[in-house]
Chains A and B, each alone.
Chain A
Amino acid sequence: MTIHELHQKLVNKELSALELTKAVIAHKEAVEGQVHAYLSDSHEQALAVAEAVDAKIAKGEAIAPLAGIPGAVKDNICIKGQPATCASKMLENFIPPYNASVIEALQGQDFISLGKVNMDEFAMGGSTENSALAKTTNPWNADYVPGGSSGGSAAAVSSGSAIWALGSDTGGSIRQPSSYCGVVGLKPTYGNVSRYGLIAFASSLDQIGPVARDVTDAALVLNAITGHDDHDSTSIPGQRPDYTKALVNDVKGMTIGVPKEYFGDGLHEDVRKAMEEAIETYRSLGAAIKEVSLPTTKYALSAYYIIALAEASSNLARYDGVSYGLRVPADNLVEMSTKTRTIGFGPEVQRRILLGTYVLSAGYYDAYYLKAMKARRLIKEEFDRAFEDVDVLLAPVAPNTAFKFGEKINDPLSMYLEDICTVPVNLAGIPAISIPAGFASNGMPIGMQLMGKPMGEEAILQAAYTFEQARPECNKVAPTGEVQL
């Protein structure tokens, strides 16, 4: 069930927001035993908002498209008075005294959050296995990871325990789990959505975005959270369009670029096949297909990890046991902070902090960080040139579909390599959407990525929407994902 369908039912009074919220909570309780997408609940607040929405409907007032439709929020986005753990022992008891700007915006639209959802600790990882607090499974097959870091967001939407969710994407953290769980995930242009209140992993790469059942819902959620924010210096100024206006079922006259570097060795055959079929679909719908080359792509992962980890090492320095979060007592301050961090952070977070510290440290800055920032410019300029000739770029979201638990967790580098198709987008700051594009032979969903130019969300939404209309069989609901109303 989608936001746009449910909104019509609410407006037509076929269904009350309270009934809907109760139904989704009941469904959530049924599937959560298996999926474990949530880290905390806010059912009471959800029911209160639902009642308020019903009151508005009863009075004949207009309601926002998201009003009364239960969603979920990744646990690195601050909601005043509710935990924001980042799936870390470090913040297990942290209650933010303020709202993220996206939450402020959503609260003005009567949004309902059923709770905060799981993720890789501090958004570091691609499987949600790095959560220190829960193990989220893939709703398509519980032996498989849901992807990450927004694994909870994708699993919640896929399993129907939320109609939509907010995730965050630093190097693919919305797109990859959306792809693994067979839902739609959108990473907006850097600066399109405010980061104020998003607990930082890598500040120059992080962006909040929607995880949704279909492209229309993704556009609706984006509409609800987009906009300039005075609290975020990196927020792009100016008005935003109504993104639902881009939902036009037509790609005639559009040029879709296919960057060959995303189709190299290591791409799973099933994924390659799905991409080729998608290209054929677009061709048959009248789009021009153009092969392009982005040769610096192969260096993106290196640049990404250097930049992301450098920023992370600094962003995570604040967790020292002094004024919030975990404190492991010790006789003196250095020991207290060291113990707190050693116990409070999981192994992957510690590894990334060490690496980030190393690449910034005296004598290594030029060799790593400075080079990475230069490579970043090359990557960005390459995208800029490509978008002179094409409207969107089409690529896989990940070289493989979801993997099994434990498969990669002990080999950090192989885990990092799964991000190879998603990180260039974050380095360049451009928008990209992941949409279902079929299924692998093992039944797991395959995602297709459409990338656009800066603030070019409309083009990727249009291309994604057209594909979704043409190939409805690609977007199926996961076995347990249908909410009974």
Chain B
Amino acid sequence: MKYETVVGLEVHTELKTKSKIFCGCTTEFGGDQNTHVCPVCLGLPGCLPVLNKKVLDYAIKVGLALHCDILGFNKFDRKNYYYPDLPKNFQTSQYDLPICLNGYLDIEVGGKTRRIRITRIHMEEDAGKLVHSGSTISTSDSSNVDYNRTGVPLLEIVSEPDMRSGEEARAYVEKLRSILKYLDVSDVRMEEGSLRCDANISVRLVGDDKLGTKTEIKNMNSLSALQKGVEYEALRQAELVDDGGQVVQETRTWDDGKGMTLSMRKKEAENDYRYFPEPDLVPLTISDEQIEDARKTLPELPDAKMARFQDEYGLSNEDSRILTALRETADYLDATVKAGADAKGAANWMLGDLSKMVNEANITFKDAPVKPEQLAKMMALITKGTISGKIAKKVLASMWDTGKDPDVIVEEQGLVQITDTGAIEALVKQVIADNPKSVEDFKSGKGKAIGFLVGQVMKASKGKANPGMVNQMLKEELSK
């Protein structure tokens, strides 16, 4: 480990507003090309932007959740560059006075907590989409432009170069995604592009304070691509330096198919964005009162929830981390507990059978057909002894398939646990009579044989006998 990887991330997240940042066009996905456009987002001559208030509200929320300072005076600027997906050939963004500065985010990697500082968060407009006639941009003779996404609001969240590995970069984005989800301000789907991230990567000798020359890596469209991209690029740079070469400051693109980063040739002079204050928008002033009001609307965030799950519910660090990664999951647990269930028991069901079902269905806990109240009811049936834990698994599966309440399923399928001493005694006697070998084994001191006999009784009862009673009565009968 001669070299240390240094990573800073620029994350762009599309905000879940109904309309675009500067005009009233819908932000909905999936319209026909160039149908969600108007004179403003098409950049037609004479058109002017007006800020969507929701974008500002969301930006303040995100800033507070990431422990940022909210700037009492912030403004929009124009970032000037030519690209056909940018109809005005400038992007309305924020430059020297963005909405948020100086925040942080704690991540946990390998059991250790690391604090990643956040430099800034700013509001800006998204660009449109280019559809290439060939398979890639460079092999296409022409391209088609769709401006439906032009003007969808974005937050750009810029971190300090505080991450030291691909794994940390991944953990940072995962955590960021989780927080944005909690705030319900973005869909944060990397594959769909509603969350995108660019990485600034450099390497330096371990122990060095000075940063090495960085490259900017784009086009990492999934968490695994991000991790692989960072790892690949760090290795490429380390090898380059080892061979006596020098890292060139440039923009590179991650090619997921090839598993490598490739240089995007661009003339250096074109990186002069000529930022200046957007004359068509007026500055924003945000009062302390406004900030405090926004703070009150913040939901409980993953870190706080995780701490509470450990303190209040007695869950392990690992279990509470898993259960708080998604707001929907955490809310489900809280609701189940609220409905009267034991937290640990509910957590076990959620981490076990329910997680499997949720994952297989590719949904979140929020949309699970088994509602928290139903899970709590089912757990109560176990506690009351109406059903056994084993039967409960069956009941849960039926609940998932039918959406029915557990007591209805137990009733319909006749799954009520047999607690009638007489009935169990008859089964016990039968099993003892049918399995002389096992009885012999037990009596000669092989305690394990009792397990087999219990199993046989359970089987004979079609699983409905109360296992505790079976055990008890078997022992009594055998010791006679």
Which residues of A approach B to under 8 Å, CB–CB?
76-78, 84, 86, 91, 94, 96-98, 100, 195-200, 202-204, 230-234, 310-311, 313-314, 317-318, 320, 322-324, 333-334, 337, 357, 360-362, 365, 369, 373
Contacts and interface: CB of A to CB of B under 8 A. Distances in A.
B88 interface: yes
Contacts of B39: 96-98
Contacts of B48: 195-196, 231-234
A323 B42 contact: yes
Interface string B35-52: 000010011111111110
Interface stretch (B271-279, B305-313, B388-396): B271-279
Contacts of B49: 233
A96 B272 contact: no
Contacts of A318: 43, 45, 87-89
B282 A233 contact: yes
Given A322-B87, A365-B276, A317 B44 contact: no
A314 B78 contact: yes
Contacts of B279: 202-204, 234, 311
A232 B49 CA distance: 7
Nearest to B76: A233
Given A310-B276, A369-B276, A96 B44 contact: yes
A86 B82 contact: no
B280 A84 contact: no
Nearest 7 CB-CB pairings of A with B: A317-B89, A360-B274, A203-B279, A204-B279, A199-B45, A197-B46, A199-B46
A314 B51 contact: no
B134 to A, nearest CB: 14
Interface string B261-278: 000000000001011110
Interface of B: 39, 42-51, 78, 80, 82, 84, 87-90, 143, 145, 147, 272, 274-277, 279-282
A304 to B, nearest CB: 14
22 contacts: A96-B44, A96-B45, A97-B44, A195-B48, A196-B47, A196-B48, A203-B279, A231-B48, A233-B48, A233-B49, A233-B51, A234-B280, A313-B80, A318-B43, A320-B89, A333-B143, A337-B82, A360-B80, A360-B275, A361-B272, A362-B272, A362-B274
Contact of B90 (A198, A317, A337): A317
Contacts of B89: 317-318, 320
B44 A324 contact: yes
B57 to A, nearest CB: 17
Contacts of A77: 46
Nearest to A202: B279
A310 B277 CA distance: 11
Nearest to A94: B45
A96 B89 CA distance: 19
Contacts of B44: 96-98, 324
A230 B50 contact: yes
B267 to A, nearest CB: 10
Given A317-B82, A317-B89, A96 B46 contact: yes
A204 B283 CA distance: 13
A317 B282 contact: no
Contacts of A314: 78, 80, 90, 274, 276
A246 to B, nearest CB: 28
B274 A357 contact: yes
B125 to A, nearest CB: 14
A199 B88 CA distance: 13
A324 B147 CA distance: 13
Nearest to B84: A322
A449 to B, nearest CB: 24
B272 A200 contact: no
Contacts of A195: 48
Contact of B87 (A78, A198, A230, A323): A323
Nearest to B141: A331
B228 to A, nearest CB: 31
Contacts of A333: 84, 143
A317 B84 CA distance: 11
Given A97-B39, A310-B276, A362-B272, A200 B84 contact: no
Contacts of A320: 82, 84, 89
A323 B147 CA distance: 10
A107 to B, nearest CB: 16
A373 B279 CA distance: 12
Given A314-B276, A318-B87, A323-B42, 8 more contacts: A76-B46, A96-B39, A96-B45, A200-B46, A231-B48, A233-B280, A310-B276, A313-B274
Contacts of B45: 78, 84, 86, 91, 94, 96, 199-200, 318, 324
A317 B80 contact: yes
Contacts of B43: 318, 323
Contact of B282 (A198, A199, A200, A234): A234
A317 B89 CA distance: 6
A361 B46 contact: no
A195 B46 CA distance: 8
Contacts of A98: 39, 44, 47
A98 B274 CA distance: 30
Contact of B280 (A96, A203, A230, A334): A203
Nearest to A80: B39
A196 B50 CA distance: 11
B391 to A, nearest CB: 64
Contacts of A96: 39, 44-46
A318 B45 CA distance: 8
Nearest to A122: B45
Contacts of B47: 98, 196-197
B407 to A, nearest CB: 57
B46 A100 contact: yes
A259 B318 CA distance: 76
A231 B50 contact: yes
Contacts of B275: 360
A310 B278 CA distance: 11
A317 B280 contact: no
A96 B44 CA distance: 8
Nearest to A203: B279
Given A96-B45, A317-B88, A233 B272 contact: no
A377 B49 CA distance: 25
Contacts of B42: 323-324
A142 B329 CA distance: 80
A311 B46 CA distance: 14
Contacts of B82: 317, 320, 334, 337
Contacts of A100: 46
A202 B279 CA distance: 9
A369 B51 CA distance: 25
Contacts of A86: 45
A233 B274 contact: no
A57 to B, nearest CB: 33
A310 B77 CA distance: 13
Contacts of B90: 314, 317
Q: Residue among B84, B143, B147, B280 with the most chain A CB within 10 A?
A: B280
A323 B80 contact: no
